[in-house]
Amino acid sequence: METQDIHVEILYPHVSVDCVLLSVVEDKLCVLLAELTRENDVKGFKLPGSLIYETENLDQAASRILKESTGLTRIPLKQFQSFGDPARTTNKDDVHWLENASKLKVGRIVTVAYLALCKARKRTNTNERYNTAHWIPVDELPRLLFDHNDIIKAAVQAVRRWVDVEPKIVFDYLPSKFTVTELRRTYEIIYDKKLDVRNFHKKMNSFGYIVPTNEMEEGVPHRSARFYRFDPAKYKKIYSKLSNN
């Protein structure tokens, strides 16, 4: 009688991946958190994350974990930092939850964090370990599992540096057409500071890759504003020149 080999994925108990998704929701910078239920129906929150499988690389693990935890796919995740403090797993309740979820004995775990600035979408998932996912303002976070509060703080600083170097990611987040006010407000929320309206408008016009359209706002109680769009071809041309200088 022939037998069929069954491939079983094995979790590696010392390395995990955590995904930090940031977005502007209701005029606040928010992070996507997975809601979980512990014993006695005690609820908690954590970043979408998990141990990696022994057979997958980190990028594969990040995509898989994000999909399992939130239902989100095709998010351009970028690896930004590793966290390996031995104190990450000193909270007994956090370790107990992870051991129950993974069916493994947990010791020291190094986590590799991934980051994305994305459009907020309401999503639920089917993973039995989580109930749903929520967008929570980064300045109103509850106590999260392990060192996830620290990871989010580092991610906010990282996305600001990222925007400075690669501003295209802001336009990946924005709708295909936007007003100057929408763009300025997005920058204000990301950097957590007010920007001078005139200076911002002047700077925006100097970019060269933000192109005015012939469309104007409709049905607004104030003076209609013009819509602009991001031109990826002009952006690529400008930044290729800068990188060659």
pLDDT digits (tens, 9 = 90+) for 77-122: 999 999 999 999 999 989 998 998 888 898 899 999 999 988 876 5
Q: Across the strands, what pairs with 15?
A: 110
pLDDT digits (tens, 9 = 90+) for 172-220: 888 899 999 999 999 999 999 999 999 999 998 888 999 999 999 888 8
Domains of the chain listed by start with CATH number: 11-162 (3.90.79.10), 168-244 (1.10.10.10)
When pLDDT is averaged across residues 52-56 and rounded to a whole number, the result is: 93
3 state DSSP class of 207:
helix
When pLDDT is averaged across residues 58-70 and rounded to a whole number, the result is: 91
Asked if 150 contacts 46 with a C-beta cutoff of 8 angstroms, the reply is no
Residue 49 burial (CB count, 10 A): 25
For residue 129, what pLDDT is reported?
47
